[in-house]
């Protein structure tokens, strides 16, 4: 192994160690050539075209705790979402700053990067896809619901990317899809935004989804998260379990009896700290 390669590997291990200490659960590395190789988005969204000179995208992930997510839509999940955003951006900032101290370019692309959900209603796209970055960094595969599915947490993970001109060995891209296309996300979606069943990745009415999120935000219980709540994939299920029947029956059960004891904890969280969504 050449000295240059040894130094690259040493830097990679160093970054992983620092990211873990900053609370990140998963870390992956993607050479920018992978965007050109897979061609799954327009060239204007390639990181090397947005910032010429970038060689590696480092993707950091933080888990979403399932019991809090299951209360969605609620301020409990909203606070979890906001907290994960803060720690992701802070971790990415510190990793980028560390790269700068070594003489490398290093900066981060924030996890969502839109000013307000109303913007997404008109144009439901970000300037850079964290999901594709996560795929190319070997962290997971893209599922039916357009999210990154990981072995550790299914889609219950938030992502942020650090971009650098340092050449760091990439992680292998997963070849086998983790999504089993059970379509639980489609069946439970409160807006019926997933329009097709024949495609592995669903055709999706993104504007309809964004409009619902705008409604949730006005009630202070944003975002939705149902499609990641009901996904059966992820090692976190070994801790928290999986009850497909409860997810599938939730809407009708609560319509029949909002005091249904099976959903009492979720309803309790929804009734405090945010506005009612009832018309």
Tokens 């996560």: give the residue: 134
* DSSP letters spanning 182-196: --HHHHH-TT--B--
Q: What is the pLDDT of residues 235-259, one digit of tens each?
A: 999 999 999 999 999 999 999 999 9
pLDDT attached to residue 114: 84
pLDDT attached to residue 116: 82
pLDDT attached to residue 279: 54
Q: Judge whether 191 and 212 are in contact, CB under 8 Å.
A: yes
pLDDT attached to residue 112: 86
pLDDT attached to residue 183: 96
Domain assignment of residue 172, given as a range:
1-279
Q: Judge whether 191 and 209 are in contact, CB under 8 Å.
A: yes
| pTM, 2 dp | 0.95
* DSSP letters spanning the chain: --HHHHHHHHHHHHHHHHHHHTT-SEEEEEETHHHHHH--S-GGGSHHHHSTT--EEEEEEEE--HHHHTT-SSHHHHHHHHHHHHHHHHHHHHHHHHHHHTT--EEEE-SS--S-HHHHHH----SS-HHHHHHHTTS-EE-TTSSEEBTTTBT-EEEEEEEESS--PPPPPP-S-------HHHHH-TT--B--SSSSSPPB-HHHHHHHHHHHHHTT-----HHHHS---STTHHHH---HHHHHHHHHHHHH-TT-GGGHHHHHHHTSSS-----
Tokens 């160690």: give the residue: 17
pLDDT along the chain (279 residues), means of 10: 69 98 98 98 97 98 98 98 97 98 97 83 89 98 97 98 97 98 97 91 93 94 97 98 98 96 98 86
Structure tokens at 207: 């504007």
- Please tell me the distance from the alpha carbon of residue 268 to that of residue 54, in angstroms, as a whole number: 48
Angle formed by the axes of helices 75-101 and 3-21, nearest 10°: 150
pLDDT attached to residue 159: 98
Give how many domains the chain has, as a whole number.
1
Structure tokens at 90: 């802070």
């Amino acid at each position: 192994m050449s000295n240059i390669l040894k130094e690259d590997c040493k830097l990679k291990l160093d970054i992983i160690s620092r990211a873990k200490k900053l609370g990140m659960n998963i870390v992956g590395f993607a050479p920018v050539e992978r965007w050109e190789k897979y061609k799954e988005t327009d060239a204007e969204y390639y990181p090397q075209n947005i910032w010429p000179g970038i060689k590696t995208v480092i993707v950091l992930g933080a888990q979403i705790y399932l019991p809090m997510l299951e209360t969605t839509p609620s301020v409990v999940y909203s606070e979890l979402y906001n907290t994960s955003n803060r720690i992701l951006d802070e971790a990415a900032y510190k990793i980028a700053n560390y790269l700068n101290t070594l003489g490398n370019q290093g900066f981060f692309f924030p996890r969502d990067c839109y000013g307000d959900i109303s913007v997404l209603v008109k144009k439901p796209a970000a300037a850079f896809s964290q999901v594709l970055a996560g795929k190319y960094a070997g962290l997971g595969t893209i599922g039916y619901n357009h999210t990154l599915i990981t072995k550790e947490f299914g889609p219950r993970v938030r992502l942020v990317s650090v971009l650098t001109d340092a050449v760091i060995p990439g992680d292998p891209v997963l070849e086998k899809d983790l999504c089993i296309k059970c379509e639980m996300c489609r069946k439970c979606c409160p807006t019926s935004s997933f329009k097709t069943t024949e495609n592995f990745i669903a055709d999706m009415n993104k504007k309809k989804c964004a409009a619902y999120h705008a409604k949730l935000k006005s009630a202070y219980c944003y975002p939705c998260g149902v499609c990641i709540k009901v996904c059966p994939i992820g090692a976190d299920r070994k801790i928290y379990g999986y009850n497909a029947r409860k997810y599938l029956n939730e809407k009708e059960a609560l319509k029949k009896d909002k005091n249904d004891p099976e959903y009492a904890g979720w309803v309790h969280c929804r009734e405090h700290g945010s506005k009612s969504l009832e018309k």
